[in-house]
Structure 1
Amino acid sequence: MYKKEKTENLKNNIKYLIKSRGETQLSLCNSSGLTRTTIYNILEGRVVNVQQSTIRKISDFFGVSYKEIETVDFQEREIIESDVSPEGNMNPAAVPVIKESDLVRSLDKRIGELCTIYPLTYYFGTACNLIGVLLENEISGMNEPGDLLIVKKGLPICGKEQLVYNKDSKKLFMTTECCVDSDVVRVVGEVIEERFNG
């Protein structure tokens, strides 16, 4: 059973590595010195006991560990190590959580300063200049008090969902229309994640 499992892992890894690295069976054969029949037989599951020299040639071609190619699921591991996964190796971004009532007076402060004043949450992904806006009032038909909006502060991007503060009504609203700071509105930034209050 163990041999069969290793061979299955090897087969799946070769298929994944060929596809993800932009290679072909032919390029693998030409560069590793293996015959097309050998590769074909492995990929079709016709070989139960693959020779160690063959495994070494395949792992060398892809630049992966000789031991791991039979025991590790490379596709699963690369998904886990990708930067947007909470299980990955990327440090999450610390995001200051600002109550809606404190938002306007906090907008001109730098993120580093806000992180020392407010509680933090974390955002898994590549981004900077993020704040969390803890809603205290409903945004009609969209969000309720207690929801947390992760917002990328800064210039608006037309067509993306933005959080905007209306100075007259003293309320937040969301829009995909182009908005610029004016006497009436203040653009908070682009909403990149919504966390709903359970």
Structure 2
Amino acid sequence: MHRRERSENLKNNIKYLIKSRGETQLSLCNSSGLTRTTIYNILEGKVVNVQHATVRKISDFFGVSYEEIETIDFEEKEIIDSSISPQGNMNPAAVPVIKESLVVQSLDKRIGELATIYPLTYYFGTSFNLIGVLLENEIRGMNEPGDLLIVQKGVASSDKEKLVYDKLTGKMFITHEVDAGSDRVCVIGDIIEERFNGLQR
């Protein structure tokens, strides 16, 4: 594939990934350590030969493959992925694994930033904005310390169990119903998957 084609793919993928992941050019710059000029020049098509280190920083930020960000069309690929069975040939999403005690203070950080700070696990599916919550305390009758909950951050749909933080007790719990008017609880997000202790990988 020619350099011009690769840089065109890179440009289109950055635009699509910023939009689809709820990021901004600024968050990409801040978390990847790249300058706004660098990102601007790529998005305006002013550079044909983008340095490998730059491409790697961008792909790491979005949790996607270094090779694929220059060679495939992510928008097209994700449309196809979301219309086939989850058992199909999907690329896993990189999910930062955060200890229970650090989750609440991490909620205002973007996934791309969290992925550079915390260890990663991978999730096969079409969800986005995912974090892994590594439990340090038992959730009575549900989960033990060491269990990993894959949570879609900030989302609260009606049909899924939610991971919720009780500010008064400082403990996490799982519920279907959340009182939207309550200041006492903080909704971490919808639970997408549970991985029980010892089955992390």
TM-score normalized with structure 2 length: 0.54
Question: What's 2:147 paired with?
Answer: 147
Question: What's 1:84 paired with?
Answer: 86
Listed as ranges, the matches of 1:42-191 within 5 Å are 82-85=84-87, 88-180=88-180, 182-191=182-191
Displacement of 1:183: 2.3
For residues 187 and 181 of structure 1, the distance between their equivalents in structure 2, rounded to whole angstroms, comes to 12
How many positions carry a matched residue from both structures? 116
For residues 185 and 97 of structure 2, the distance between their equivalents in structure 1, rounded to whole angstroms, comes to 22
Greater relative contact order structure (CA < 8 Å, 6+ sep): 2
Task: Give CA deviations for 1:107-161 in whole Å, capped at 9, x if unaligned.
Answer: 1100000000000000001110000000000001100000000000113122420
For residues 179 and 190 of structure 2, the distance between their equivalents in structure 1, rounded to whole angstroms, comes to 11
Maintained 8 Å contact 1:160/1:176: yes
Q: Aligned partner of 1:172: which letter? A: M
- Which structure 2 residue ranges, 5 or more long, are not aligned? 1-83
Question: What's 2:54 paired with?
Answer: none
Maintained 8 Å contact 1:130/1:150: yes
Displacement of 1:83: 4.8
Change (3 A) 1:83 1:118: farther
SS at match of 2:114: helix
SS at match of 1:136: coil
Displacement of 1:178: 3.1
Listed as ranges, the matches of 1:27-38 within 5 Å are none
Change (3 A) 1:130 1:177: same
- Which structure 1 residue ranges, 5 or more long, are not aligned? 1-81
Change (3 A) 1:112 1:83: farther
SS at match of 2:149: strand
For residues 158 and 132 of structure 1, the distance between their equivalents in structure 2, rounded to whole angstroms, comes to 21
SS at match of 2:122: strand
Identity %: 70
For residues 117 and 197 of structure 1, the distance between their equivalents in structure 2, rounded to whole angstroms, comes to 22
Change (3 A) 1:167 1:173: same
For residues 106 and 90 of structure 1, the distance between their equivalents in structure 2, rounded to whole angstroms, comes to 28
Question: What's 2:194 paired with?
Answer: 194
Q: Aligned partner of 1:169: which letter? A: T
Q: Aligned partner of 2:104: which letter? A: V
Maintained 8 Å contact 1:92/1:125: yes
TM-score normalized with structure 1 length: 0.55
For residues 129 and 192 of structure 1, the distance between their equivalents in structure 2, rounded to whole angstroms, comes to 11
For residues 98 and 123 of structure 2, the distance between their equivalents in structure 1, rounded to whole angstroms, comes to 15
Maintained 8 Å contact 1:95/1:120: yes
For residues 173 and 165 of structure 2, the distance between their equivalents in structure 1, rounded to whole angstroms, comes to 6
**Greater gyration radius:** 1
